[in-house]
Amino acid sequence: MKYILILAIILVQGCSKKEEGSQTSLPRVEAVKLKRQTLRDQIEALGSLKSNDSVQITSKVTDTISAIHFTDGMRVQKDDILVEMTSTQEKALMSEALATLREARKQLNRVKNLMDSGAISKSLFDQRQREYDTAKARLDAVKSQLGDRTISAPFSGVVGLRNISTGMLIRPGDLITTLNDDSVMKLDFDIPSLYLSQIEQGLEISATTDVYKEKVFSGKISGISNQVNPLTRSVTVRAIIENPDNLLKQGLLMKVHIFSNKRETLVIPEEAVLSQANKVFIIKANKKNNAFEAQKVEVKLGAKYPGKVEITEGVSEGDIVVIRGAFKLNSGDAIEIDWVSDSSPEKETEKYSGKSPEKSPEKSLENPEEGQ
């Protein structure tokens, strides 16, 4: 009787252990339901600003300065007089040339009337015509000499520092000042030729500078160099940036962001990707008999950036993907899911610099149970 009681106790304990084993919980993982999002590649570069037009104001002749009509940093309009040089002799020559021209015109008109009546020969008329033409050419030459002593702005803009003084003798090539048209700025920068297929005229860019840390300047690509630098394998690109507040100056260093290849795509956290040999996989969660079953799926990756990766093949919108705990699963494993409300990337992809930009794209991954 005693042995029968011991055997019964052992059987009861064995059954209890079997029941406890059957009640062991399933692996719990975190997952999301994929949804497409708008994604753009970003190329980053450093560029230098140039004015839309820039010129050094110099003299064509040797003479002294008689008047200065601008100050440092002054804004001027096209054809505004900047500098006048001594022109007493040229003005006297101008008066002489005008008098000569008037007399030549008078003589020409006189012989023209006589020739019409046949009173003089044609050779005399031709002589008076030559005298008139010579006097007119002489006057034009004096006007040109006088114009060289008046220096005007070739276009509207802002002048630089004044390098002359009244009474100073200047010679051809001496720098008087500089003139920049800063209403529109040109931003030149180099990018690897690898990205030539992603840029085109009219593509929008944004640029920042440490001078104005909180301000973003927008522009468009206006031109692409027709040559690739054989040493650096880079190509020069030019963008046009409006400068209505005249904040930007020539020579300023700017950081350029180019957004290209806009597309609708799927993105998941990098930790959800499993590598094996030369292949990459993710774990999908398929609903089966009111439960979820793991499925190992080979995928192809697209753009990568910190913490996130683009999936180009292997999954579709609406698929449920395990994003945490996937490494411990095999195909066919039953799993329990903790839904993650959002695993969309916090930053847009940035291929060139490897750094994430400031603005976030639209959300792409959401909780499939949200709103139920």
**Domain end (from 148, 163, 198):** 148
In terms of C-beta distances under 8 Å and separation of at least 24 residues, what long-range contacts does 342-346 make, across chains too? 342/32, 342/366, 342/367, 343/32, 343/268, 343/269, 344/37, 344/267, 345/37, 345/39, 345/267, 345/305, 345/307, 345/308, 346/307, 346/308
d(CA 134, CA 141) in angstroms, rounded, equals: 11
Instruction: Give yes or no for residue 358 having a pLDDT over 50.
Output: no
Higher pLDDT, 21 or 119: 119
**Domain end (from 230, 262, 294):** 262
Read off the pTM.
Answer: 0.63
Lowest mean pLDDT among 40-44, 78-82, 348-352: 348-352
**For residue 124, what are the CA distances in angstroms to 34, 116, 138, 230, 363?**
99, 13, 21, 70, 93
Instruction: Give yes or no for residue 90 having a pLDDT over 60.
Output: yes
- Which two tokens mark 263? 């597309």
CB contact at 8 A, 46 and 256: yes
Location of structure tokens 């030149």: 188
Tell me whether residue 160 is in a domain.
yes
CATH of residue 343: 2.40.420.20
Average pLDDT value for residue range 134-149: 88
Please tell me whether residues 200 and 160 are part of one structural domain: no
CB contact at 8 A, 13 and 306: no
Tell me whether residue 10 is in a domain.
no
Neighbours of 169 (CB within 10 A): 12
Please tell me whether residues 348 and 361 are part of one structural domain: yes
Average pLDDT value for residue range 65-77: 95
Instruction: Give yes or no for residue 13 having a pLDDT over 60.
Output: no
Please tell me whether residues 167 and 242 are part of one structural domain: no
Please tell me whether residues 326 and 270 are part of one structural domain: yes
Tell me the pLDDT band of 174, cut-offs 50, 70 and 90: very high
- Domain that residue 356 falls in: 26-39+264-366
Q: What pLDDT does residue 228 have?
A: 94
Domain tally, the chain: 4
Tell me whether residue 372 is in a domain.
no
Please tell me whether residues 205 and 164 are part of one structural domain: no
Tell me the pLDDT band of 220, cut-offs 50, 70 and 90: very high
CB contact at 8 A, 94 and 102: no
